[in-house]
Amino acid sequence: MVRRKLFYGLICLVVSGGMFSGAPVLAQTSLVFAKPGPLDYSAGISEEILKEAYSRIGITVTTREFPGERALKMSNSGAVDGEVNRIHGIRKKYANLRMVPVAINAIEGLAFTNKPGIKVRSWEDLRPHKLGLRIGAKYAEYGTAGMQVASVKTNDQVFSMLGKHRTEIAISTRIEGVLTIHKLGLKNIRLIEPPLVSLELFHFLHKKHEALVPRIRKALEEMAREGRIEAIKTAAIKKLLSEAP
């Protein structure tokens, strides 16, 4: 009788998940996201927003910086857990990514030039000109498809080419363009208003973490209602501007 009770107790322990390989998998406690770079200021701001959002659901976030296109490949392959931020339509090409449907940031894509007389009201107005942009800036790659484009790895290179008159127009976001111009000490470069495009940025998870989407969506929605997302963005931009040369 005693042996029978011991045997029955052991079976219950195994079935309930307290022993052997049947034990429940521990909850996710940390994630690593790809961040485009170097010096993608918008992604840096989004990273701070995500760190707070994930901390609310008990998960620690770190990032690894890669050139823009490689960052997407790393995220899509599952080598990292997802992408800090990207535009809405990125999943058309990177099918393994799952968008969290709360905008965490936004960008304005503009034309920058040091050549007098250039007027730009649409993407098509760029066609006669020599253009520079950063590889992996998808909004810029899509908008300038088929045009005279010099694609380089960094924003520094984009604006250095413009400063040396190797290109006539640089395509960049407002914040990246302004800060890079100040950083490099470039003169006589103006941005052309209005923006060519204004886009919301979203966080993406690899499909292996699809079950996390509702939880992080809820955390981000709470932060939006509380005004935390805007507060983090405002503080980060002020800091970046204060640190610019």
193 and 224 share one domain: no
165 and 44 share one domain: no
Q: Is 4 contained in some domain?
A: no
CATH assignment at residue 71: 3.40.190.10
205 and 193 share one domain: no
Q: Is 194 contained in some domain?
A: yes
68 and 94 share one domain: yes
Q: Is 2 contained in some domain?
A: no
Are 151 and 100 in contact, with CB atoms under 8 Å apart? no
Number of domains in the chain: 2
- The pTM (predicted TM-score) of the whole model is 0.81
Residues forming a β-bridge with 106: 200
The whole-number pLDDT of residue 243 equals: 82
| Residue range 57-85, pLDDT digits in tens | 999 999 999 988 899 999 999 999 999 99
Domain that holds residue 126: 108-198
Residue 11 has pLDDT above 60, yes or no: no
75 and 38 share one domain: yes
Q: Give the separation between CA 123 and CA 92, rounded to whole angstroms.
A: 21
71 and 47 share one domain: yes
142 and 205 share one domain: no
Helix (H, G, I), strand (E, B) or coil at 23: coil
Q: Is 46 contained in some domain?
A: yes
Q: Is 49 contained in some domain?
A: yes
Q: Is 9 contained in some domain?
A: no
Residue 242 has pLDDT above 90, yes or no: no
H, E, C per residue of 36-71 = EECCCHHHHHHHHHHHHHHHCCCCEEEEEEEEHHHH
175 and 208 share one domain: no
Element (H, E) at 145: none
Residue 20 has pLDDT above 90, yes or no: no
163 and 91 share one domain: no
Per mean pLDDT, which range of 17-21, 142-146, 229-233, 238-242 is the poorest? 17-21
